[in-house]
Amino acid sequence: MTIAVCSGSFDPVTYGHLDIISRSANIFDKVIVAILINPNKKSLFSVEERVELMRDSVRHLPNVEVDSFEGLLIHYMQKKGANVIIRGLRSVTDFEYEMPLAAMNRQLNHEVETFFMMTSSQYSYLSSSLVKEAASYQASVSGLVPPVVEEALKKKLLPQR
Ligand code: ADP
């Protein structure tokens, strides 16, 4: 059984992430979406909120599990018996950022392989940070994030009346 891990901040989950997660779920026996708890990175949603939004968004995928982790990804993977890391690629910038990470993870554990998946072209410009910026100016983000995330963004960002 091959267990793959899709790791990231997912602050919040977008259709770009879900595209990569669902395509991975078609290939691997089991996919764990591992949400990183990173005290050094300011996030809009707490880790509990991000886990909840992700769980709601992948409910229809029976072989996908959602979890959070702290520390090094390869330590978490050892604990879970996973040996494939999935990362999505949108651009050359993503590639440059991902290369040293993949090399470092391989150095730390030779049994772990990083697989890169090209984004579907309609999501190549999509990022959590752009979604947050657009939502903060009351722009509609439907079509970019699932409805539960759209609602959560409204609650979090729009002034209470
Ligand atoms: P990180 O903080 O680790 O970059 P993100 O939540 O931004 O976490 O992204 C998690 C993963 O999803 C990364 O592999 C990233 O490249 C990928 N990703 C993000 N947005 C998209 C998108 N629109 N299409 C495909 N992959 C994406």
Distance 154 CA to ligand 1 centre (A): 22
CA of 160 to the centre of ligand 1 (A): 30
Q: Is the peptide bond before 12 cis (omega within 30 degrees of 0)?
A: yes
Clarify whether 129 is annotated catalytic: no
- Going by pLDDT thresholds of 50, 70 and 90, the confidence category of residue 54 is very high
Token output for 118: 């090209």
Which amino acid does the sequence have at 154? K
- Is 41 considered catalytic here? yes
Which residues lie closer than 8 Å to 27 by C-beta, 6 or more apart?
4
Query: Is 53 in contact with 43 (CB distance < 8 Å)?
Result: no
Sign for the CA dihedral angle at 137, 142, 146, 147 comes to: positive
Write the pLDDT tens digit of every residue in 60-116: 999 999 999 999 999 999 999 999 999 999 999 999 999 999 999 999 999 999 999
Q: Is 16 helix (H, G, I), strand (E, B) or coil?
A: helix
Q: What tokens appear for 100 in the block?
A: 């040293």
Q: From the centroid of its chain, how far is CA 12?
A: 8
Q: Hey, whose CA ends up nearest to atom 17 of ligand 1?
A: 88
Q: Which residue in 41, 42, 60, 79 is the catalytic one? A: 41
pLDDT in tens, 4-22: 999 999 999 999 999 999 9
Q: Where are the domains of the chain?
A: 3-157
Give me the CATH topology for the region 3-157: Rossmann fold (3.40.50)
Tell me how far apart the alpha carbons of residues 7 and 98 are, in angstroms, rounded to a whole number. Answer: 12
Q: Which one of 7, 24, 128, 132 is the catalytic residue?
A: 128
User: What's the pTM value of the predicted model, to 2 decimals?
Assistant: 0.95
Question: Quick check: CB of 16 below 6 Å from ligand 1?
Answer: yes
Q: Is 143 left (phi over 0), alpha (psi -120 to 50) or beta?
A: left
Instruction: Assess whether pLDDT exceeds 90 at residue 158.
Output: no
What's the CA gap between 76 and 149, in Å, rounded?
27
The mean predicted confidence, pLDDT, of the chain is 96
Query: What pLDDT is recorded for position 57?
Result: 98
Q: Is 24 a catalytic site residue? A: no
Q: Please tell me the distance from the alpha carbon of residue 158 to that of residue 161, in angstroms, as a whole number.
A: 9
